[in-house]
A and B are shown apart, each in its own frame.
Chain A
């Protein structure tokens, strides 16, 4: 993308991104106002949240439950809406 710091003088012509996969460095979680919180007593580990997450930033923990990577999570709430057992609640960022 750039040789050195990201100033206009350092771009590769045409803003070519020459290192594949660097979209992972882009924080999409910056504009979130709510975040998903799991109640694992209700979670049946079905993975619907994992499947529906459009980012996709929900991952399975070693115990088989799910959590969201807040670096990418935009707080869309689709996981909470789709969860069969209502195990996910969307809460205001500042509340938890």
Chain B
């Protein structure tokens, strides 16, 4: 049976990785992710975890070592944040194109400059098209759960893709939360040993990441994208099996008090929890306001989003990143997904929570009020920035 304990979320993440019986971890410390690999390194040093910990000299090397390790058939994990992810960037698409199911915990952090170690979603949004499966956790429990799910789904031979589990830097990583830590037998039941589709083995040589001239490159990319879309079925099975064993339920798009809502907030990441408080408050006052939370970011759950917002008149989307020169990333997906709908809500875009700036309850309240107003008269600005001076 799992036990409930209070611990720092980064340490809960390390517990999940340990329970997943990870075999290789190659990581470079960077705030606010540091405590994850630090705790894992400690576990390895103490003999609590029988894994190879590679203290690499940079994030580019971390991801490169992970590619080699996963290709050799080892269950592989790494963790990073912000600039660290940027340094990994070159190798990120190599991992996904070679279909290597590495799991990466990404403690979301703003990008320099100005230098910021604090949280927002600029890091993951800059690599959103790199071909990895990407999910967002909103709290410690979800971080723990989704890491186990990430290994199971990513390594499934029908999927074979790397997975990023996003959890907000500081707002989630550094807080101490009560978390149900599963026991080893439960995790073993959920997560079978890694059996790769292809493996580097001198007794049966194969080439991975080969040269792809023009006559073949398009076909490899089409095959890769198709496989990523197809992976959704296994992802759902992974959630269903998770619920059966651990009792907690997940979905690609999750809603909170959205039934009959005329106004829907749409949030990705931990700020959804503040938004829930606001929804509670407004529902008590009898206002038909609900919340849509994006759990799965890639492949983007277009159809599931359409279903989740059906019947709503106003959709107020919050992004914690700017996509310089165009719409913010999440609202852009929402608009694209809802465009084919004959009857769709008016969409209003807010950006906020950049570089660790908090968005408090009152600001969510403002967002709803202002969102309804903008939906009626039309939003002229591409987005409105919350709390901007």
Chain A residues proximal to chain B, CB less than 8 Å: 6-9, 11-18, 20, 26
A13 to B161, CA, bound (A): 10
Q: Is the CB of B219 within 8 A of A14?
A: no
Other CB < 8 Å A-B pairs besides A14-B97, A14-B208, A18-B198, 8 of them?
A8-B220, A8-B223, A14-B99, A15-B97, A15-B210, A16-B98, A17-B208, A26-B213
Q: Is the CB of A11 within 8 A of B223?
A: yes
Contacts A6-B216, A13-B197, A14-B97; A20 near B206 (Cβ below 8 A): yes
B224 neighbours in A (Cβ, 8 Å): 14
Q: List 15 A-B contacts (CB under 8 A).
A: A8-B226, A11-B223, A12-B197, A12-B198, A13-B197, A13-B223, A13-B227, A14-B99, A14-B100, A14-B160, A14-B197, A15-B209, A16-B98, A16-B206, A16-B208
The yes or no answer to B207 lying at the interface (CB within 8 A) is yes
Q: Which residue of A is nearest B100, CB measured?
A: A14
B70 CB → nearest A CB, Å: 11
B218 neighbours in A (Cβ, 8 Å): 8
A12 to B226, CA, bound (A): 13
A6, A9, A16: which contacts B198 (Cβ < 8 A)? A16
Q: Is the CB of B212 within 8 A of A15?
A: yes
B207, B226, B227: which contacts A16 (Cβ < 8 A)? B207
A18 CB → nearest B CB, Å: 5
Q: Which residue of B is nearest A16, CB measured?
A: B198
The count of residues in chain B whose C-beta lies closer than 8 Å to any C-beta of chain A is 24
Q: Is the CB of B206 within 8 A of A9?
A: no
Main secondary structure of the interface of B (DSSP, over half): loop
The yes or no answer to B389 lying at the interface (CB within 8 A) is no
Q: Is the CB of A8 within 8 A of B198?
A: no
B208, B209, B219: which contacts A11 (Cβ < 8 A)? B219
Q: Which residue of B is nearest A20, CB measured?
A: B205
Q: Which residue of A is nearest B210, CB measured?
A: A17
A2 to B210, CA, bound (A): 13
B212 neighbours in A (Cβ, 8 Å): 15
B45 CB → nearest A CB, Å: 34
Residue picked from A6, A9, A11, A26, most chain B C-beta under 10 Å: A11
A12 to B160, CA, bound (A): 11
B285 CB → nearest A CB, Å: 52
B369 neighbours in A (Cβ, 8 Å): none
Q: Which residue of A is nearest B199, CB measured?
A: A16
A88 CB → nearest B CB, Å: 29
Contact string against A for B residues 202-235, beta-carbon threshold 8 Å, 1 for contact and 0 otherwise:
0001111110110010111011101100000000
Contact string against A for B residues 189-206, beta-carbon threshold 8 Å, 1 for contact and 0 otherwise:
000000001100000011
A14 neighbours in B (Cβ, 8 Å): 97-100, 160, 197-198, 208-209, 224
B258 CB → nearest A CB, Å: 37
Q: Which residue of B is nearest A26, CB measured?
A: B213
B205 neighbours in A (Cβ, 8 Å): 20
Q: Which residue of B is nearest A18, CB measured?
A: B206
B99 neighbours in A (Cβ, 8 Å): 13-14
Q: Is the CB of B220 within 8 A of A15?
A: yes
Contacts A16-B207, A16-B208; A11 near B220 (Cβ below 8 A): yes
